[in-house]
Amino acid sequence: MFKYLLALSLTAAPLAAQEVPPFQASQSCGTFTVMAEQTKKYNEQILFKGEILQQHISGQMIKTEMVFMTNQDTGSWTLVSLFPNGWACMVANGSNFEPYLAK
């Protein structure tokens, strides 16, 4: 019996040592007009724009334009990626936005 438990524990050890898969998320996507309507619900305005790199589920890195919108009165914010074909995806959104003030 002991030798069976030992064999079982030795085969299970590599499974415990494996890494947990990286965090994966999905994004809500639609036309730019649809995504803009979502941010209008929270009275968010564009604060800045730029470019971001996103990793496709295939592993391919894709550079897209992005806009960061916020309602500076309520602290709500949304980060949206913009694709050349007119589609947009909500990368992230949240609350408690506040400007960083260097001391």
Which of 11-15, 24-28, 95-99 comes out lowest in average pLDDT?
11-15
Contact 60, 53 (CB under 8 A): no
pLDDT digits (tens, 9 = 90+) for 32-49: 888 888 889 999 999 999
For CA atoms 87, 94, 48, 26, give the dihedral sign: negative
Q: What is the pLDDT of residue 36?
A: 86
Q: How far apart are CA 5 and CA 26, in angstroms?
A: 42
Q: How far apart are CA 80 and CA 69, in angstroms?
A: 8
- Going from N- to C-terminal start, the domains of the chain cover 26-94
Threshold 0.75, pTM exceeds: no
pLDDT digits (tens, 9 = 90+) for 47-69: 999 999 988 888 889 899 999 99
Short-list 52, 50, 49, CA closest to 70: 49
3-state secondary structure of 103: coil
